[in-house]
């Protein structure tokens, strides 16, 4: 309580966050508290005299009691301070003090032994975000000229720093708006940190198995056995307090008793004992944990609490965690040969990295990989995905030279915005193939600490397409696509040649190609008695044909024929061709031995090996997915379109005023709507509500006539017969006739919600809408207006921010798009203006999460016009930051905060 008896101010909950430092270890950032006084004194005592001098410009060996009180008691409005915690120690503090409206002075102090870990940059990000929320527009700082580390921190943040020099001190100033450069710098640091944290798992030089057992058929025994029999090149330590040796290895009573260094610990003890293991590992200096143990969030509420405590404890000591309830980690690199998993089956060396969430499915997945001869570079089963997620693996695989294809089996997506952002970047370098379970139900398995996505299924699919992800329906189809990507080049287009010795299968291939958007430009039927030479000639001609982009080879052997000669031809052509070649060969699946090309890198099947499919339809479907990816890859990436004359500050003031008057949120009034849209160059035409014929006449006179009278009640405006609308009103007589006619047609005129509005030029009615999903963030949709469109779900979805190319794709991918482009001789509408409106709505929605929904339900798209006739918007307070904001933070372990 303060002296006046009032409660001490509290900072927003989302200001506290677990963060990842540049070296891949974790820490915790939170606002400073009055009870941190002792921690601050201890921290200051560990800081060098030089760092103290740089901070205060004078020798200041100790903090006075007055200083401690001033530094730890802040109002979270004009005086803000954040601390970085590691275990129970404060290792850094950063603060800003508002010195005038919109301007604050910022300063940092980092413990010397933690310099170089990116801590000052983390503090600057979090302070800047807090400042933006409080209306601070720029930071200023006074820095000694030889304090190069601090000067570099400001400049390297991506802000535009200007400064002067006076009395031996540099004065720096920079705006804290999240510029594209600043966001790019932040994302690059995020990438480096998350990649480094995963690298520690895959390249661990020493592993401790905690819970190693001498008894057969136990998890602890299997983990030790798989490491040893997999020829792991590092050191394995067995931890078992009741045994002297396990599988020929000396056993230690705890991790702290191990004489050598330990990079990673695999934990296979009862769930109730895992926290004690974390403390031992932290004391030993272990870098990461793989928790195989079950009994956490997948078991119910008590398990969820146990899981949150586990993750919080691990992160507080700087440890990343895979699991719990996971299968483990595999790295097939011969220099590591790491099988830190429960799977006794080590997959062959290959080019694909595989991430899955289900521990139960992990073994089955590895068996399928092995049977197909696909091969993997690395494999991770994340189980409950309490900490390490697919996003972390994507960051690692982006730079991993041994991984050329990324495979994802997803049971939930904790942070769709971040996932989309990373995938858009990674897909430009490496193809991503994904299976998403619960696709229809949007369900989330037990154990996953994420909320379900409320956005419609089509919007999630659109996000995958935006990011260049090849989304498939099953694991079988994933492997079909993966084996093509791993061994064959990308196609240049959709034109396919079919070469085979079966007319029936050739027809099936042509039908399958037409059904998935491919064009059969060449079909060669060789006949059942075709020889290897016939195949070679036909394949060479198809590959040399400039009208062919890829080739499907069909070979069904005659009786008592092995097909080895044809296989040799396919393998030779596949190795030399710059166009993809797929086959239905002997009804085999995967990459048969006969079709493999030796790989110098050690994989079982090298580049140019020809994948085979048991059914020609499967071959064509796989090829179609790869074609779509190749088309996406060749599409210019484009820049995010932002209107130059947008008045974002005007919109912000209007939204804030509305929320001040209605803290719980509300629909905006028409005048507010018009001003909000006007700030984003959207002209909303006024609908004048009228309750009587006299009011309707008066409204017509005010508008200068040439108006329409229409009912706006929901049950009336969605009638396809347009019985709610009366056009061509040019005088009082027309208006009274229209009023009488509509009142006669409508059962309850008093509830019709009549309005009078100026007549718009004729056009096609379209709708543009945007909503804020609590997990997904903003989602924009486009479609032709009307109940029929809504009933069949003919809408296009995208995730802001949008490029012009993405807006153009939205107007063209709906099934009813011909209505915009001269259907049956009608005029082509002003599609450019419609796309401009889509971009403006997307920008408005992306700028303001407080705008819960926007609905331009009726936009008449004419030859040279796009008139916004009907619109709604709702504002609501933002409970939490969007899951992918302007600040780095790890996923939270509380259900009602932002997950990763």
Tokens of 590: 């995967």
CB 256 within 8 A of CB 282: no
pLDDT at 139: 96
In this predicted model, what pLDDT tens digit does every residue of 883-893 receive, in sequence order? 667 888 998 75
Rounded distance between C-alpha atoms, residue 828 and residue 863, angstroms:
6
CB 145 within 8 A of CB 154: no
- Please name the helix (run of DSSP H) or strand (run of DSSP E) that holds residue 659, with its range, or none: helix 648-661
Closest CA to 431 of 631, 284, 166: 631
Tokens of 245: 């040796």
Average pLDDT over residues 134-161: 90
pLDDT at 425: 95
pLDDT at 3: 43
Rounded distance between C-alpha atoms, residue 392 and residue 793, angstroms:
34
Residue 227 pLDDT grade (very low, low, confident, very high; cuts 50, 70, 90): very high
What SS3 class is residue 886? coil
Residue 90 pLDDT grade (very low, low, confident, very high; cuts 50, 70, 90): very high
Closest CA to 404 of 436, 372, 376, 438: 376
Residue 75 pLDDT grade (very low, low, confident, very high; cuts 50, 70, 90): very high
Closest CA to 331 of 303, 357, 350, 311: 350
What value does the mean pLDDT of the chain take? 90
CB 875 within 8 A of CB 851: yes
Closest CA to 347 of 383, 377, 390: 377
Rounded distance between C-alpha atoms, residue 796 and residue 462, angstroms:
8
CA distances from 892 to 19, 446, 484, 700, 883 (A): 10, 17, 38, 57, 10
In DSSP terms, 142 is beta-bridged to 171
Rounded distance between C-alpha atoms, residue 128 and residue 126, angstroms:
5
Rounded distance between C-alpha atoms, residue 885 and residue 891, angstroms:
12
CB 666 within 8 A of CB 654: no
pLDDT at 885: 72
Rounded distance between C-alpha atoms, residue 186 and residue 885, angstroms:
11
Residue tagged 């096609």 (tokens): 764
Closest CA to 154 of 141, 166, 165, 145: 141
- Please name the helix (run of DSSP H) or strand (run of DSSP E) that holds residue 26, with its range, or none: strand 26-31
Q: In 577-634, which ranges are continuous DSSP H helix? A: 616-634
Rounded distance between C-alpha atoms, residue 810 and residue 537, angstroms:
44
Length of the chain: 900
Q: Residue 849 — φ and ψ, nearest 5°? A: -65, -20
pLDDT at 513: 96
In this predicted model, what pLDDT tens digit does every residue of 695-745 receive, in sequence order? 999 999 999 999 999 998 887 776 666 568 899 999 999 999 999 999 988
Closest CA to 280 of 267, 299, 298, 294: 267
In this predicted model, what pLDDT tens digit does every residue of 7-42 receive, in sequence order? 667 898 889 999 999 999 999 999 999 999 999 999
Rounded distance between C-alpha atoms, residue 484 and residue 470, angstroms:
13
Q: Which of 131-145, 717-731, 758-772 has the lowest mean pLDDT?
A: 717-731
pLDDT at 893: 54
Q: Residue 840 — φ and ψ, nearest 5°? A: -70, -45
Q: Which of 165-169, 320-324, 679-683, 699-703 has the lowest mean pLDDT?
A: 165-169
Which residues, 6 or more positions from 323, have their beta carbon under 8 angstroms from its beta carbon?
267, 289, 290, 291, 292, 293, 382, 383, 384, 386
Closest CA to 430 of 377, 371, 494, 356: 377
Rounded distance between C-alpha atoms, residue 294 and residue 875, angstroms:
43
Peptide bond into 801 cis (omega under 30): yes
Rounded distance between C-alpha atoms, residue 811 and residue 820, angstroms:
8
In this predicted model, what pLDDT tens digit does every residue of 575-598 receive, in sequence order? 999 999 999 988 788 888 888 887
Q: To 10 degrees, what angle do helices 670-679 and 648-661 make?
A: 150
CA distances from 167 to 106, 145, 174 (A): 19, 11, 21
Residue 895 pLDDT grade (very low, low, confident, very high; cuts 50, 70, 90): very low
Judged against a pLDDT cut of 50, whether residue 4 lies above it is answered with no
Rounded distance between C-alpha atoms, residue 555 and residue 534, angstroms:
12
In this predicted model, what pLDDT tens digit does every residue of 526-553 receive, in sequence order? 988 889 999 999 999 999 999 999 999 9
Burial class (CB in 10 A: 0-12, 13-18, 19+), 621: buried
Average pLDDT over residues 148-157: 88
Which residues, 6 or more positions from 825, have their beta carbon under 8 angstroms from its beta carbon?
none
Rounded distance between C-alpha atoms, residue 398 and residue 428, angstroms:
10
In DSSP terms, 339 is beta-bridged to 330
pTM for this predicted structure: 0.90
In this predicted model, what pLDDT tens digit does every residue of 238-291 receive, in sequence order? 999 998 899 889 999 999 999 999 999 999 999 999 999 999 999 999 999 999
In this predicted model, what pLDDT tens digit does every residue of 770-829 receive, in sequence order? 999 877 789 999 999 988 888 888 999 999 989 999 999 999 999 999 999 999 988 999
Judged against a pLDDT cut of 90, whether residue 163 lies above it is answered with no
Residue 600 pLDDT grade (very low, low, confident, very high; cuts 50, 70, 90): low
Average pLDDT over residues 424-451: 74
End-to-end, the C-alpha distance of the chain in Å comes to: 36
């Amino acid at each position: 309580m303060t002296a006046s008896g009032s409660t001490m101010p509290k900072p927003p909950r989302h200001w506290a966050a677990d963060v990842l430092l540049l070296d891949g270890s974790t820490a915790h950032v939170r606002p400073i508290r009055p009870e941190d006084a002792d921690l601050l004194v201890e921290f200051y005592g560990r800081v060098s005299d030089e760092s103290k001098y740089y901070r205060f410009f004078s020798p200041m060996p100790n903090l006075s009691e007055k200083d401690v009180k001033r530094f730890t008691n802040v109002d979270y409005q004009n005086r803000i301070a954040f601390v970085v915690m590691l275990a129970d120690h404060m290792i850094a503090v950063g603060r800003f003090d508002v010195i005038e409206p919109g301007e604050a002075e910022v300063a940092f102090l980092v413990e010397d032994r933690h310099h170089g870990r990116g801590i000052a940059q983390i503090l600057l990000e979090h302070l800047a975000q807090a400042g933006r929320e409080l209306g601070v527009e720029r930071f200023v700082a006074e820095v000694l000229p030889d304090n190069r580390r601090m000067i570099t921190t400001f400049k390297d943040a991506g802000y535009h720093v200007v400064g002067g020099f006076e009395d031996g001190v540099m004065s720096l100033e920079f705006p804290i708006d999240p510029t594209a450069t600043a966001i790019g710098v932040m994302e690059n640091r995020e990438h480096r940190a998350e990649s480094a944290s995963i690298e520690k798992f895959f390249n661990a030089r020493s592993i401790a198995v905690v819970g190693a057992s001498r008894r057969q058929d136990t998890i602890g025994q299997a983990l030790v056995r798989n490491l040893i029999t997999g020829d792991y090149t590092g050191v394995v330590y067995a931890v078992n307090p009741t045994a002297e040796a396990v599988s020929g290895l000396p056993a230690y009573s705890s991790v702290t008793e191990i004489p050598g260094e330990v990079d990673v610990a695999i934990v296979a003890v009862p769930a109730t004992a895992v926290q004690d293991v974390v403390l031992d590992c932290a004391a030993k200096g272990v870098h990461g944990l793989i928790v195989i143990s079950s009994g956490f969030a997948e078991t119910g509420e008590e398990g969820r609490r146990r899981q949150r405590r586990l993750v919080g404890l691990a992160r507080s000591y700087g440890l990343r965690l895979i699991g719990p309830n996971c299968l483990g980690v595999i790295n097939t690199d011969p220099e590591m040969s790491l099988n830190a998993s429960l799977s006794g089956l080590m997959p062959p060396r290959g080019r694909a990295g595989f991430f899955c969430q289900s521990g139960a499915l992990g073994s089955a997945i590895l068996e399928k990989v092995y049977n197909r001869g696909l091969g993997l570079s690395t494999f991770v089963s994340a189980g409950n995905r309490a900490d390490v997620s697919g996003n972390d693996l994507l960051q690692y695989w982006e730079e991993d030279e041994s991984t050329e294809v990324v495979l994802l089996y997803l049971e939930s997506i904790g942070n769709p915005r971040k996932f989309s952002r990373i995938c858009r970047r990674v897909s430009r370098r490496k193809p991503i193939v994904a299976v998403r379970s619960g696709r229809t139900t949007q369900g989330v398995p037990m154990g996953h600490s994420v909320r379900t996505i409320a956005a419609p299924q089509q919007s999630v699919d659109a996000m995958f397409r935006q990011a260049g992800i090849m989304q498939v329906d099953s694991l079988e189809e994933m492997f079909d696509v993966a084996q093509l990507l791993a061994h064959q080049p990308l196609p240049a287009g959709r034109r396919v040649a079919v070469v085979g010795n079966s007319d029936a299968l050739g027809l099936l291939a042509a039908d399958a190609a037409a059904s998935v958007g491919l064009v059969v430009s060449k079909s060669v039927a060789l006949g059942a008695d075709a020889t290897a030479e016939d195949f070679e000639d036909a394949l060479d001609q198809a590959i040399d044909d400039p009208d062919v982009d890829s080739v499907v080879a069909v070979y069904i052997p005659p009786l008592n024929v092995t097909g080895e000669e044809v296989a040799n031809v396919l393998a030779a052509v596949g190795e030399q061709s710059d166009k993809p070649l797929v086959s239905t060969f002997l009804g085999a699946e995967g990459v048969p031995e006969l079709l493999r090309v030796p790989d110098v890198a050690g994989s079982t099947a090298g580049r140019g090996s020809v994948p085979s499919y048991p059914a020609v339809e499967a071959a064509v479907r796989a090829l179609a997915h790869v074609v779509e990816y190749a088309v996406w890859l060749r599409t210019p990436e484009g820049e995010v379109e932002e209107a130059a004359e947008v008045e974002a500050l005007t919109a912000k003031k209007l939204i804030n005023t509305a929320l001040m008057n209605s803290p719980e949120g509300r629909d905006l009034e028409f005048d507010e709507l018009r001003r909000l849209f006007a700030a984003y160059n959207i002209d909303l035409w006024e609908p004048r509500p009228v309750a009587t014929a006299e009011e309707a006449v008066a409204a017509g006179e005010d508008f200068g006539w040439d108006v329409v009278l229409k009912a706006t009640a929901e049950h009336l405006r969605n009638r396809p017969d347009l019985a709610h609308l009366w056009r061509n009103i040019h005088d009082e007589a027309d208006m009274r006739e229209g009023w009488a006619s509509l009142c006669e047609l409508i059962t309850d005129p008093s509830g019709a919600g009549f309005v009078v509005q100026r007549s718009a030029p004729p056009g096609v009615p379209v709708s543009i809408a945007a909503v804020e999903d609590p997990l997904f963030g903003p989602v924009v949709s486009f479609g032709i207006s009307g109940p029929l469109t809504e009933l069949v779900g003919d809408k296009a979805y995208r995730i802001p921010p949008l490029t012009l190319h993405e807006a153009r794709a939205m107007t063209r991918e709906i099934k009813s798009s011909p209505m915009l482009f001269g259907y049956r001789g009608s005029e082509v509408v002003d599609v450019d203006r419609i796309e401009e409106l889509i971009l403006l709505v997307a920008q408005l929605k992306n700028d303001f999460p407080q705008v819960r929904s926007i609905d331009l339900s009726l936009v008449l798209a004419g030859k040279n016009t796009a008139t916004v006739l009907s619109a709604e918007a709702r504002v609501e307070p933002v409970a939490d930051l969007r899951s992918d904001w302007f600040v780095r933070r790890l996923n939270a372990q509380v259900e009602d905060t932002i997950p990763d």
